């Protein structure tokens, strides 16, 4: 059975929120989960794509980049990651 078309965006958002709050480390659960929970309802489809790409990155790297312990490398620098870092206060 397939999902009705109008439910797909909500399902995608719920899955993203779950992934953001169940990363595996408490620090990234808070950093990423808080950001996603605050902005998820207003993200466009392109922003959801960007968020999914960022969430594929390793927790240890994300934690370091989002807290400012290490700079975001050029190959991963993107608007979504910069928004997340700003929201984290780094």
% of the chain with per-residue pLDDT over 70: 91
How far apart are alpha carbons 12 and 6 in whole angstroms? 11
> Taking the CB of residue 31, how many other CB atoms lie within 10 A of it?
25
Query: What does the pLDDT look like over 48-82, one tens digit per residue?
Result: 999 999 999 999 999 999 999 999 999 999 999 99
Residue ranges and CATH numbers for the domains of the chain are 8-88 (1.10.150.250)
């Amino acid at each position: 059975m397939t999902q009705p078309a109008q439910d797909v965006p909500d399902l995608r958002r719920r899955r993203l929120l779950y992934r953001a709050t169940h990363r595996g480390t408490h620090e990234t659960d808070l950093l990423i989960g808080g950001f996603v929970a605050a902005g998820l309802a207003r993200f466009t489809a392109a922003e959801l794509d960007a968020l999914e790409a960022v969430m594929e990155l390793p927790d240890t790297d994300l934690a370091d980049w989002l807290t400012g312990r290490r700079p975001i490398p050029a190959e991963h620098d993107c608007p979504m990651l910069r928004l997340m870092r700003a929201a984290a206060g780094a």
